[in-house]
Copies of this chain bind each other. A is one copy, B any other.
Amino acid sequence: MHILVLGAAGMVGRKLVERLARDGRLGKRDITRMTLQDVVAPQAPANTSIPVKIVTSDFANAGTAAPLVAERPDVIFHLAAIVSGEAEAEFDKGYRINLDGTRYLIDAIRVVGGGYKPRLVFTSSIAVFGAPFPDKIGDEFFHTPLTSYGTQKAICELLIADYTRKGLLDGIGIRLPTICVRPGKPNKAASGFFSNIIREPLAGESAVLPVSEDVKHWHASPRSAVGFLIHAATMDTEAMGPRRNLSMPGLAATVGEQIAALERVAGKNVVARIRREPDPVIVGIVSGWPRDFVTDRALKLGFTTVEKTFDDIIRIHIEDELGGKFVT
């Protein structure tokens, strides 16, 4: 089978491609070909005999999608997007990439014709929800995003459901929790600290905690995120009916619980590298974010997290990113 990954150079995209190359198959079928697209050249996975084509192109261009889908990939992972902060700062760019790009894609799929109806796995976000929330956000809670990014994701969900209902593709949108522990360097994203306070201390570096320890948030490990994508690509979507978008399972943890888990897994010295520096701006932003979910529908459809506790999330990071070692 032929797999197309849009946004393959991003963090989740890279991990997905590594996993696909390692497995050599998706569900019951061998992978015979992969096309990896992003605005910066994605890296081909090492140690694979699967032919990989690298495409560097701008997802916001009207002509980008057509040649990619003309080759009739069986499964399309659509992870192409600019992130929340950038979509908020650059209004037009956000709409071009996060909304128009998706429309170009689904319209390009539609014009291929000849019964072509690929599985399209779209990564949506819990940013489709906006405060005030119930304590736990259920499967039927409405979408009132408070960012342009969340708005664009909510719109793409609606489009993919409608195109699927019309038989033009076989789409599914999955709302990923915040990915934790996010590998790489600290960035300026307001959500960065959820990962920074784990990753940096394990690397022997100090990390800033800008909010109080009672802040609760919704997490999943990168390994779980990749698992969700694989399951979405291989599951029986008929069981979903016309409701093609859903919130993924995750783990609700307060910052205090994150820190306690870090101490259990890595010890007091590591935890001592967290510096408390309250930042009212970040406190304000984070107060509008979802904290906890009930994801009965996703669980029933077979989506599961790898981790059972936040300790597991930390151990997964140590295994997958640090070769099993950290700075004590």
Do residues B242 and A130 form an inter-chain contact, with CB atoms below 8 A? Answer: yes
CB proximity to B under 8 Å, residues A197-242: 242
Q: In the complex, how many angstroms separate the beta carbon of A300 from the nearest chain B beta carbon?
A: 15
Complex interface: chain B residues within 8 A of A145 (CB)? 158, 161-162
User: What is the interface residue range for chain A against chain B?
Assistant: 20 to 34
Residue from B142, B155, B165 within 8 A of A159 (CB atoms): B155
Do residues A142 and B144 form an inter-chain contact, with CB atoms below 8 A? Answer: no
Whether a CB of chain B sits under 8 angstroms from the CB of A151 is yes
The answer to whether residues A158 and B165 also contact, given A142-B141, A146-B242, A242-B130 and a CB cut-off of 8 A, is no
Whether a CB of chain B sits under 8 angstroms from the CB of A148 is yes
Do residues A166 and B144 form an inter-chain contact, with CB atoms below 8 A? Answer: no
Number of copies: 2
The answer to whether residues A91 and B166 also contact, given A143-B142, A144-B243 and a CB cut-off of 8 A, is yes
Whether a CB of chain B sits under 8 angstroms from the CB of A154 is yes
Complex interface: chain B residues within 8 A of A146 (CB)? 165, 242
Do residues B148 and A161 form an inter-chain contact, with CB atoms below 8 A? Answer: no
Whether a CB of chain B sits under 8 angstroms from the CB of A135 is no
Which residue in chain B gives the minimum CB-CB distance to A138?
Answer: B142
The answer to whether residues A151 and B143 also contact, given A130-B242, A242-B130 and a CB cut-off of 8 A, is no
Complex interface: chain B residues within 8 A of A162 (CB)? 145, 148, 151
Q: In the complex, how many angstroms separate the beta carbon of A249 from the nearest chain B beta carbon?
A: 18
Which residue in chain B gives the minimum CB-CB distance to A151?
Answer: B162
Complex interface: chain B residues within 8 A of A140 (CB)? 141-142
CB proximity to B under 8 Å, residues A126-151: 130, 139-146, 148, 151
Do residues A148 and B130 form an inter-chain contact, with CB atoms below 8 A? Answer: no
Which residue in chain B gives the minimum CB-CB distance to A128?
Answer: B158
A sample of 8 cross-chain residue pairs with beta-carbon separation below 8 angstroms, ordered by A number, consists of A130-B243, A140-B142, A142-B143, A143-B143, A144-B242, A145-B162, A154-B158, A155-B159
